Structure 1
């Protein structure tokens, strides 16, 4: 009888252990593939780190040159180094894309392996359940009668307890394996989303690269490589900027006083305004930041806005409800077309380099309404003199003073 019990235990243990031996060669192949992918990932990350170090060095060189007197030679040097910086950034982005591809592949291997583990655990669980069900179908008298002595019966009871314990362990292992599988699937989806976002970022950096090349060519064309012509251009840009700023300040004060006298900011304009603004365009890619040290015209004036990457003719929407304080329509490329929108709580928003304006002054608009279309392509109507490529110039002002838009925009990305 002891021999029979021993044989039975060996059979059950064989059922439990067998799947691991069946799949062991395949598991080893999978582990080897994952190790190889991890080695490639480590190599990519090392290369990315070196590229980022090179980018930081180029940035330091640019910042150092900015401290020197503004000259055509220095500006060309800065533009050349900005081009180099973007080239390195593009290369680093491509390496990041490759890294994500490898990480996704490694995760897919792990998911396949985990699904095989789950399948094996299910087989083990089924065998253990069948064994317990078979034993539970017998009544106590039948079980006792099957043994010659109490010792054999006791051994059988001990064996069934082991089987039940194995059942509990297998169920727990299966449950944990499923949790691990779902986590790996979630990570894979996150990596895939990051990959798609990075592809968009790469396209935008490629556009920035072309802009830098254009900026240099345009600067050399406008100045005819003459330092005197460059200084004349700077003075002209500075004068135009000061005139636009004076106009914006004056118009905002005048129109706001008029609207407040008419009690316009105590009705529909105040509804649901919480001091937060929606993004004025579909894009969330910022090409120049508020008071950006890398802004190409910073030696002429401070950049009191963010520039948002927007293709020529992209719809521009009201960031919050309010009244149109100024809608400057242009018919020439040298003219700076913009909309100033007045909101309650002494907030205002400004949308610049517009190719088309579809609202009129003192008109009330609600958050999300289309008020115009973006521009900024050099040489196009409404682009104005301060352009490097198609984008939307977006300002937020509080009490007439420019503030960082990123501190007030809804974080919906």
Structure 2
């Protein structure tokens, strides 16, 4: 019986010895594969960053174009108003010209008739009429009539001349206004063309940048999908050498001995960097740079890498869907695939990633969902 038990233990030990190098080799291969994909992600992120910079710059250009569009639209409205006013003024002056021309023609005809009468009568007729008076009173009466007729002829002549000048001035005014009208119409046409071109340019900017951004984002999404597949394989391999049974619950060890001050609890809050109101998925523990950040229970390291948000981070799988996350470290100590014991150092405290200062960010996740860490670990008294 004892020999059988010994044989069983020996076989199990041999299997573990054989499996561990194979696991390590597969894990290294997967990690290398993941690193290659991560490099592609980083490169694509750089391309996306350049596109976003271009997008930001072009959005500024679009704002300028929008301002030009608004200015051109206002100019078009103003020019249309000016054109309407000029057209009204032209119509008014043309009407006045028409009326003045009618009066002028009538008065000129009358003046021509008077000049013909005077010419036919001769220049001495006025004197003969006056000298032919039979009495002093008749003389003065005749002289007054002749004077009035002479004054009328002069006034008629002046009126016709003035009306002629008025007509010529109105014609000149109409010609000037029509030239102005044509200029305004040409300016309006140019402005409308410029407005149309600006709108097309604006749309081209947006379409081009949006397409580039979408293509790069699609590449990044594809890469992350590949990373997720690799990480799933890593987790599957980790379970091969896991502790043989799932995590059964219970209290875990405090991750940073002698550092018990929590600066930010699990729960909804305004993110100190992004300003977004969202769930804080763990707890932040006050600690200085370089402080040892320790595993709270036995497990296998399934992630040991840098993340833009978490900074240097380590994720440990404890079985049963329970994982713990240690983030913002100054240095990663644990290795991917490492079988780790409670109390072993996995990370050193830092302020990498989205961090406002040195601290230890600690999370507990069950089947990928963040849980309140204080339901799993207790602050030592």
Whichever structure has more strand as a proportion of its residues is 2
**Above 0.5 in TM-score?**
no
Q: Give the TM bin, normalised by the shorter chain.
A: 0.3 to 0.5
Greater RCO, 1 or 2 (C-alpha within 8 Å, sep 6+): 2
TM-score under structure 2 length normalisation? 0.37
